Structure 1
Amino acid sequence: MFKMLFKLASLKAVLAAALLSVLFFNARAQSLNLIPKPVRLEPGEGNFVLNARTSIVLPAATDTGFASLFAARLKLATGFNLPLAVARSLGREPVAHLKHLKPGARNVIRLVQDENCLKSKGDEAYELEINSAGVTIRAARSAGWFYGMQTFMQLLSVGLVQNQKGDGYVIPAVFIEDYPRFKWRGLMVDVSRHFFNKDVIKRYIDQMAKYKLNTLHLHLTDNQGWRVAISSLPKLTDVGAWRVPRTGYWRGQKAPEPNEKATSGGFYTQEDIRELVAYGQQRFVEIVPEIDVPGHSLAMIAAYPELSCTKKPQQVLAGDPWNASRTNVLCAASDSVFIALDKVIGEIAQLFPSKYIHIGGDEVSRAYWDKCPVCQQKIKDEHLGSAEELQSYFLKRVAQIVLSKGKKPMGWYENLPGGLPDEMAVMSWKDSKGGLLSANKGQQVVMTPAFFTYLDFYQGDPYLENAIFTVNRLSTTFQFDPLPEGINAKNVLGGQGSLWTEQVPNERKLQSMTWPRAFALSEVLWSAGNKSDWNNFIRRVESHLPLLDREQVACSRYFYDAIVTATPGLNKEMLVKLSTEVEGLDIHYSFDDTDPDQYYPVYKGTPLSIPKGAQSIRVVTYRKGQQLGRLLKLPVTELQRRMPAK
């Protein structure tokens, strides 16, 4: 009897210890606030202490470029100028400028080339092992090492912790196995509506690479500016890169005045492009160029009016005072247009090593072609049924030009009766349906459905923002699924966030419209179906906010704002519902035209009646006495406007 009781007690102790071990294991795993979430993570015991005596050890005969970048980032984070070393290896010549370390050396960050490391998972796969003796990053290719380094930097930098002596930084022991879900993990920046110089783009690339985003799609041309020098067509930048200066809200801007000089804009020289491409390559970010035709072409037509149907002189748009007198569409039947595009695409193909050249192709106003006798004759000659089929004809000819330069064409999805070129990869932007149809037809697809991935959409209450169209909150982007039901997954390259810049005039706005929503995109596109729940994700986002602050990267915190919804009550009177994206926030409110703080009434979940005479509601969010959301002041008239239609 006593033996049985003893055994039961022992069993309970073992189970309790096992439970504590599991809880400890899970707690440590949760505390490693990595974005994107790794495919597999196993916390270990103990820590590694990075100090001034740590070395970075490379395999023999390895290019040191990306390792030097790693060392530079470590110096910026810690102040330590860590040396690069090469592991001794029989049968190989030593690298003259690097010291050599024995294989068993301690206090090292060691890069190990292993052709069998996650062999089936591609060149970007890696294993990261950290223990008290050192750090090992295994990969088959340099890209894997690079992404292992980004993970290591997050483990070090998020909540930077010094050891007791104060001469080093503590990194928890861990084993990580990681690889991407998709090859194309992208962001698009529209540099036409507002121009961003090469230094801004470099900083953008830096930030992308830290979170394992690997494709930068540059929208280089549109109605508001042509941004890349083409030596055979110099007017594209002499004229097309400049517009009259305007400041403020994009819509309704005044058209150019008589004799007003076009001084606002800019462009990248071909040397700038080569520099940006090389900068991206060092950080494993590929730059994909877009030349948007036949619509969105006013900047090109302003430079060369003979390329339009009307042949009339035009000016580059300042803002968006659109009217029918401005021709922004190339003539689809003019041989001179295709000759010019052959020159443009030829030079673009030489500048950008990217496999793809994006040719735009969407939102074409075919009214110009309906009135153009040359276009109408082309429709007859080619036995086309309509101007819509003429658009298909045009895109197919441009696609052949791209193919002739050794590149693959890509374009925005359009539902055209003549179809899109079979050889063209497709970006699905209005929704996911175009991508689904194209992928199932056999075309390569990049998913960027607007309501989940458009980064120009506002992030908080529209009353406080000047962004256009509609809302795309952080939580909405987190719900993005690049593989809608029924799609042929093998034809989906991946996805991207697309940032149109009509309302993005400077770098700080560019950053805050990108981050933190790009965190969600990173997680969706990298984490191999291992995406966490929303609460876990938002906790990790919050841990990265101080890091972005230290790095002077603007990041929107509008996900902390209260969400105000007007709804009808039982007697059709207007009630007000308050909510938040993030759990655990207190919403304080007032109706008496005073600004609420943590001492004001807290919303309890029951819709609020508006007191008689109240002119507005004011709301703000707090957590543990700290204000997190913006103070939102909404007039009652605005709430009435938001009431659902009867």
Structure 2
Amino acid sequence: MPVSAVEKSGRLRLDDTTVVDGPAEVVRWLRGALRLPLERGEGGLRLRVDPALEPEAYTIEDLEIAGGSTAGLFYGCQTLRQLLPPSALRRAGPTGWDVPAVRIEDRPRFGWRGVMLDVARHFMPVADVLRFVDLAAFHKLNVLHLHLTDDQGWRLEVPGWPRLTEVGAWRRESMVGARQHARFDGRPHGGFYATDDLREIVAYAAERHVTVVPEVDMPGHMQAAVAAYPQLGVGAVETRTGWGISSHVLNLGPESLDFCRAVLDQLCDVFPGELIGIGGDECPTEEWGGRDLQPKFTADMAEHLAARGRRVFGWDEILEGGAPAGSVVAAWRGPEPTLVAARLGHQVVSCPDLTAYLDYRQSDDPGEPTPVGTRLTLADVYGFQPVPEELVEKHLVLGGQANVWTEHMDSARAVDYMVYPRLCAFAEAVWGPRAYRDFLDRLKTHVGRLDALGVNYRPLSGPRPWDARPDAPGNPRTLLDRQTELREMTSRLPSGR
């Protein structure tokens, strides 16, 4: 829902005869999105940049769209698509639609409206990633945090380290269901992105005003890399087949440090954004003799990135040893890390698991596929508040992010079911929330758009019989148990006061 929307009398028309005047990059995208020729000319659809508006703000007055930048224009055009019937969102079919005459003024609440996609646990082909970007952009999200590596798979090429994709990108089988059931499918899985694949994803996202923030998790969650190069760890291992946290981490010797610098250099060469994700979460210290070597490692990597004009983006565990100056913290372990990070002067992206982890089960219905985590309903996600009320340094909260961990999502179809329509609720929460009941009424119309876009969303009525995964049992958690666990997990955080 825009900040302001007033319907006027009359109808307008978009069809094969409509001409357009506006910036080339927006016009080029809009031609494809609407399947209309949109020849250049005056007197039809007018797109213009108005510097008086905030960069991502826009206005619509009949067939004139103004944006504070080309990003604002893009969001105005996405709203135009939502003013059309769902058939306008299909890839083929009749064209030509009536448009209601309206006056709309709109701007986002937060500058970081992100979604993280884990392609390490289950590899997602390039075409599916591009589709994921399209759907996120349709909902006016502007950051794709791409989780490229983990214990279960390495998904990018690094010059001079070929075994990362020859060995680390593949595992002999995958766990099925929550880990305490110890079930495996006996089927090899893997894949990786060539450097040109990643450049394509970055360029495609940029055309839709989505910044891709890459993440290679280090020094933990590195078993796939150690499988490829045992000298980086403390012994030979295989790419992890089960979920959970591996104790096989980097040994932080000279060769493993050089390796990490080479990885970061590759990320800097491929991804033009300022932020480079180094993870930093869930790193056991057993193989280091119990010593906590991570703070110095994080500082070394931050220094290397700074020499390339980049900054660290890391999970909130990097706060525990003192996050390097200039770091951006992804606060995931409940609301407390957002408070701590901001009070310590760090910019922070709020993504607490209790309201932003879209792998968590959507209801108590036994038909939900592989129910894990606490219950996270559509209403829960809509109620997401990135900025804690008691925080004074509110300006340091860049915004919010929903996280899509894919241990239990082995296909784009499975991702669709877990992500939509909850990501619709999240998108409105970080753009500018209204009343949930009003959102739910509008969502009943919006799912028709999701149908037209081919999204396998979870029906508002609940799971269908074929959505269940009896072969992949889950592990539902209570909210109280998880809150207790989070208090223990964040006990090492500095006070931030």
- Range into which the TM-score falls when normalised by the shorter chain: 0.7 to 0.9
**TM-score, length basis structure 1:** 0.68
Q: Tell me if structure 2 keeps the 8 A contact 1:319–1:502.
A: no
The question of 1:339 aligning with 2:258 is answered yes
Question: More displaced, 247-256 or 297-306?
Answer: 247-256
Superimposed CA distance per residue, residues 496-522 of structure 1 (whole angstroms, 9 cap, x where no aligned partner):
100100000001111111111111111
Other-structure match for 1:494:
399
The question of 1:212 aligning with 2:140 is answered yes
Residue 412 of structure 1 aligns with an amino acid whose one-letter code is W
Other-structure match for 1:248:
176
From 141, 145, 161, the equivalent of 2:73 is: 145
Other-structure match for 1:329:
249
Other-structure match for 1:54:
18
Other-structure match for 1:436:
339
Cα 1:66–1:112, aligned 2, differ >3 Å: closer, same or farther?
closer
Q: In structure 2, what is the Cα distance between the partners aligned to 1:290 and 1:201?
A: 15
From 217, 220, 231, the equivalent of 1:295 is: 220
SS in 2 for 1:421: coil
Cα 1:223–1:160, aligned 2, differ >3 Å: closer, same or farther?
closer
Q: In structure 1, what is the Cα distance between the partners aligned to 2:348 and 2:379?
A: 24
Residue 486 (structure 1) shift: 2.3
Q: How does 1:258-337 map to 2 (within 5 A)?
A: 263-308=188-233, 310=234, 312-320=235-243, 327-332=247-252, 334-337=253-256
Residue 338 (structure 1) shift: 1.1
The question of 1:112 aligning with 2:48 is answered yes
Q: In structure 1, what is the Cα distance between the partners aligned to 2:46 and 2:185?
A: 60
From 253, 264, 287, the equivalent of 1:368 is: 287
Q: How does 1:404-553 map to 2 (within 5 A)?
A: 404-414=307-317, 418-461=321-364, 463-465=366-368, 466-487=370-391, 488-527=393-432, 531-553=433-455
SS in 2 for 1:233: coil
Identical-residue share of aligned pairs (%): 35
Superimposed CA distance per residue, residues 48-104 of structure 1 (whole angstroms, 9 cap, x where no aligned partner):
12233211222xxx4x233122112212xxxxx33331xxxxxxxxxxxxxx43xxx
Cα 1:418–1:547, aligned 2, differ >3 Å: closer, same or farther?
closer
From 526, 545, 560, the equivalent of 2:461 is: 560
Q: In structure 2, what is the Cα distance between the partners aligned to 1:435 and 1:147?
A: 28
Other-structure match for 2:486:
none
Cα 1:419–1:50, aligned 2, differ >3 Å: closer, same or farther?
same
Q: In structure 1, what is the Cα distance between the partners aligned to 2:141 and 2:2?
A: 14
Cα 1:127–1:489, aligned 2, differ >3 Å: closer, same or farther?
same
Cα 1:253–1:241, aligned 2, differ >3 Å: closer, same or farther?
farther
Cα 1:50–1:343, aligned 2, differ >3 Å: closer, same or farther?
same
Q: Tell me if structure 2 keeps the 8 A contact 1:256–1:318.
A: no
Q: In structure 1, what is the Cα distance between the partners aligned to 2:427 and 2:112?
A: 11
SS in 2 for 1:216: strand
Residue 158 (structure 1) shift: 4.4
Residue 246 (structure 1) shift: 3.6
Q: Tell me, which stretches of 5 or more residues in structure 2 are unaligned?
A: 469-476, 482-497
The question of 1:71 aligning with 2:31 is answered yes
Q: Higher RCO, 1 or 2 (CA under 8 Å, sep at least 6)?
A: 2
Residue 14 of structure 2 aligns with an amino acid whose one-letter code is L
Superimposed CA distance per residue, residues 187-229 of structure 1 (whole angstroms, 9 cap, x where no aligned partner):
1011000000110000001111111001100110100000011
Cα 1:491–1:111, aligned 2, differ >3 Å: closer, same or farther?
same
Cα 1:438–1:321, aligned 2, differ >3 Å: closer, same or farther?
closer
Q: Tell me if structure 2 keeps the 8 A contact 1:467–1:503.
A: no
Residue 411 of structure 2 aligns with an amino acid whose one-letter code is N
**TM-score, length basis structure 2:** 0.88
Superimposed CA distance per residue, residues 439-474 of structure 1 (whole angstroms, 9 cap, x where no aligned partner):
122111000000100000011225223032221111
Cα 1:264–1:392, aligned 2, differ >3 Å: closer, same or farther?
same
Q: Tell me if structure 1 keeps the 8 A contact 2:247–2:285.
A: no
Residue 176 (structure 1) shift: 0.8
Residue 526 of structure 1 aligns with an amino acid whose one-letter code is W
Q: Tell me if structure 2 keeps the 8 A contact 1:483–1:489.
A: yes
Other-structure match for 1:157:
85
Q: Tell me if structure 1 keeps the 8 A contact 2:279–2:314.
A: yes
Residue 39 of structure 2 aligns with an amino acid whose one-letter code is L
Other-structure match for 1:128:
60
Residue 481 (structure 1) shift: 0.3
The CA RMSD over aligned residues, in Å, is 2.7
Q: In structure 1, what is the Cα distance between the partners aligned to 2:159 and 2:185?
A: 28
Q: In structure 1, what is the Cα distance between the partners aligned to 2:118 and 2:150?
A: 9
Superimposed CA distance per residue, residues 344-376 of structure 1 (whole angstroms, 9 cap, x where no aligned partner):
1001100001110011111111122126xxxxx
Residue 538 (structure 1) shift: 0.6
Superimposed CA distance per residue, residues 149-188 of structure 1 (whole angstroms, 9 cap, x where no aligned partner):
0000000134879xxxx99422211111111111111110
From 397, 400, 407, the equivalent of 2:300 is: 397
Residue 146 of structure 2 aligns with an amino acid whose one-letter code is L
The question of 1:84 aligning with 2:39 is answered yes
Residue 266 (structure 1) shift: 0.3
Q: In structure 2, what is the Cα distance between the partners aligned to 1:519 and 1:84?
A: 33
From 112, 116, 140, the equivalent of 1:188 is: 116
Cα 1:415–1:213, aligned 2, differ >3 Å: closer, same or farther?
closer
Superimposed CA distance per residue, residues 215-267 of structure 1 (whole angstroms, 9 cap, x where no aligned partner):
1001101000000111121111111100013473252446899xxxx942000
Other-structure match for 2:491:
none
Q: In structure 2, what is the Cα distance between the partners aligned to 1:138 and 1:424?
A: 34
Residue 306 (structure 1) shift: 1.0
Q: In structure 2, what is the Cα distance between the partners aligned to 1:491 and 1:435?
A: 9
Residue 383 of structure 2 aligns with an amino acid whose one-letter code is Q
Residue 283 (structure 1) shift: 0.8
Cα 1:172–1:414, aligned 2, differ >3 Å: closer, same or farther?
same
Residue 546 (structure 1) shift: 1.5
Q: In structure 2, what is the Cα distance between the partners aligned to 1:299 and 1:52?
A: 52
SS in 1 for 2:366: helix
Q: In structure 1, what is the Cα distance between the partners aligned to 2:203 and 2:87?
A: 32
Q: In structure 2, what is the Cα distance between the partners aligned to 1:339 and 1:248?
A: 35
Residue 300 of structure 1 aligns with an amino acid whose one-letter code is A
Q: Tell me if structure 1 keeps the 8 A contact 2:81–2:88.
A: no
SS in 2 for 1:340: helix
Q: In structure 1, what is the Cα distance between the partners aligned to 2:129 and 2:169?
A: 18
Superimposed CA distance per residue, residues 568-602 of structure 1 (whole angstroms, 9 cap, x where no aligned partner):
xxxxxxxxxxxxxxxxxxxxxxxxxxxxxxxxxxx
Q: Tell me if structure 2 keeps the 8 A contact 1:186–1:216.
A: yes
SS in 1 for 2:108: coil
Superimposed CA distance per residue, residues 544-586 of structure 1 (whole angstroms, 9 cap, x where no aligned partner):
11221122111112x4349xxxxxxxxxxxxxxxxxxxxxxxx
Aligned residues: 465
Q: In structure 1, what is the Cα distance between the partners aligned to 2:458 and 2:256?
A: 43
Q: Tell me if structure 2 keeps the 8 A contact 1:220–1:227.
A: yes
Residue 338 of structure 1 aligns with an amino acid whose one-letter code is L
Q: Tell me, which stretches of 5 or more residues in structure 1 are unaligned?
A: 1-36, 76-80, 86-99, 372-386, 563-627, 633-640
Other-structure match for 1:179:
107
Cα 1:631–1:318, aligned 2, differ >3 Å: closer, same or farther?
closer
